[in-house]
Amino acid sequence: MENVAVIGASPNQDRYSNKAMRLLAQYNHNPIPIAPKYEQIEGKKVYQSLKDIPEKIDTVTMYIGPARQDTAIINDIIKLSPRRIIFNPDTENKAAYEQLKQAGIEVVEACTLVLLKTNQY
């Protein structure tokens, strides 16, 4: 089972981040929601930031736009040292890609939902 940090998780079931939380769980992954406004999403404890997660993170999946991806978030991802980060549609942040790659993190521009449903995850 892979631990997946879902940055920008939402309790709103119409949001793609929520759909990803549910589909990740359905595919036997452990989605870990990151969302400062909430305490629980889909029955999971919500973390305020990546620094608060006690587990090793295998993948980060991004659901906040580049305008909200400040230097602290990118640095926190680098400190977590996940195997990869998935930038979902409209979250692409080309300015951060080189820094992430230099830290040994695979950068993927794709939709987490599509990757899961097409067995490419």
CATH superfamily label, 3-117: NAD(P)-binding Rossmann-like Domain (3.40.50.720)
Give per-residue pLDDT as tens, 60-84.
999 999 999 999 999 999 999 999 9
Give per-residue pLDDT as tens, 79-93.
999 999 999 999 999
Strands, E assignment, 1-121: 3-7, 30-34, 40-41, 44-45, 59-62, 84-87, 106-109
- Rounded Cα gap, residues 72 and 86, in angstroms: 18
Q: Give domain limits for the chain.
A: 3-117
φ/ψ bin of 8: left (φ > 0), alpha (ψ from -120 to 50), beta (otherwise) = left
Q: Tell me the pTM.
A: 0.96
CA dihedral defined by 45, 81, 78, 55, rounded to 10 degrees? 20
Give per-residue pLDDT as tens, 32-54.
999 999 999 999 999 999 999 99
